[in-house]
Amino acid sequence: MTGHSNLLLIYTGGTIGMVEDPETGALHPIDFDHLQNEIPELKKFDCHITVESLKKPIDSSNMNLLVWIELLEIIETYYDRYDGIVIMHGSDTMAYTASAMSFLLENVNKPIIFTGSQLPIGKIRTDGKENLITAIEIATAKENGKPIVPEVAIYFEYSLYRGNRTTKISAENFEAFQSPNYPLLAEAGVHIKYNRFAIRKVDDKQLIARKDIVDNVASIKVFPGLRKDVFQAITNLSNLKGLILETFGSGNAPSDSWFAEEIQKLDKRGVVVLNITQCTGGSVMQGKYETGVHLEHAGVLSGGDMTFEAAITKIMYLLSCTELSFEEKKEYVGKNMRGEIS
Ligand code: ASP
């Protein structure tokens, strides 16, 4: 039910709020004030909606840490006053921002639902209206006075996904996202069917927004023929603090001795090295094959079935936790913190 709810709608840009440049035909985001006329439906909701915008709405491919901090500040300022939050965001980096928010916001106990669209909301065939309307419905849905989905999620094309389990899989289909290793939180048809077993159980604690994000991180996607000097171009960076290795299958990588030696050096330097698989589905199981055993011995941590988006933002978050030692950061990185890993 949406009655008597207060909803915060945060507009960050993305295709949902874009128009074509008359000269070039390229899409660019416009201010929400101009957009509002395209969505008269917002006035029909039986809840009070307040809109906040980024200072400068962006194409989400321009997302960066400063914008994440701006978003964290908006959420931190208004969180206590609202029953739920919907964030309009470009689909390109939506899974990154949703993952980042799931870590950087500690103790979330209200819905924070990201949505966007593949076609601008001003276009007749837009998917933006359904996405936005249902996202608002979900963000204000309560049962016994409590929010049904008290977590960071993405709503897109009739599906509600856990934010840090989601990845963008299509630049063409309306069904742009997938959550390969975790069930949907809800499916929208005539009714919204919530998969309660999959939704997080939360405590009533005060929200904490961590804004001191560390970005001294990198990733290396392993491929046949990866050269030592190319590998070292990244690993020799003096201020590197975290590295994601995107490996083959169940977490396997070349067993050349230089590879393990380079990784051992990183561990000694205090760099957190996390292994995730290039496969969309399934999990890292270091040690299943000989080509994974040497990684384990060199101090590489298993990222299990985390998405790349979850892994990189989790490392950024953990590195920002200055109260944790290197050993504690290593311990947490492979552990379930926000439902991001099985
Ligand atoms: N480039 C757009 C963005 O991410 C794509 C979209 O919104 O679907 O902002």
Q: Label residue 36 by pLDDT band (50, 70, 90).
A: confident
Which DSSP string do the residues of 265-320 spell out, in sequence order? HHHHTT-EEEEEESSSSS---TTSSHHHHHHHHTTPEE-TT--HHHHHHHHHHHHH
Please, which residues bridge with residue 115 across strands? 88
CA 211 vs CA 69, 160, 332: distances in Å? 6, 27, 19
Q: For the chain, which domains are there? A: 5-209 (3.40.50.1170), 217-333 (3.40.50.40)
pTM of the model: 0.95
pLDDT tens, 123-179? 899 999 999 999 999 999 999 999 999 999 999 999 999 999 999 999 989 989 999
Burial of 168: CB neighbours in 10 Å, binned 0-12, 13-18, 19+: middle
CB of 90 sitting under 6 A from ligand 1: yes
**Three-state secondary-structure class, residue 36:** helix
CB 166 within 8 A of CB 184: no
Q: Which of 131, 75, 133 lies closest to 107 in space, CA to CA?
A: 75
Taking only the tens place, the pLDDT of each residue in 91-118 is 999 999 999 999 999 999 999 999 999 9
Pick the residue whose CA is nearest to atom 8 on ligand 1: 91
Nearest to 313 by CA among 190, 221, 210: 210
Pocket test for ligand 1, best of 54, 87, 91, 93 (most atoms within 8 A of CB): 91
Across the chain, mean pLDDT equals 93
- Active site (catalytic) residues: 15
Atom of ligand 1 nearest to the CA of 59: 9
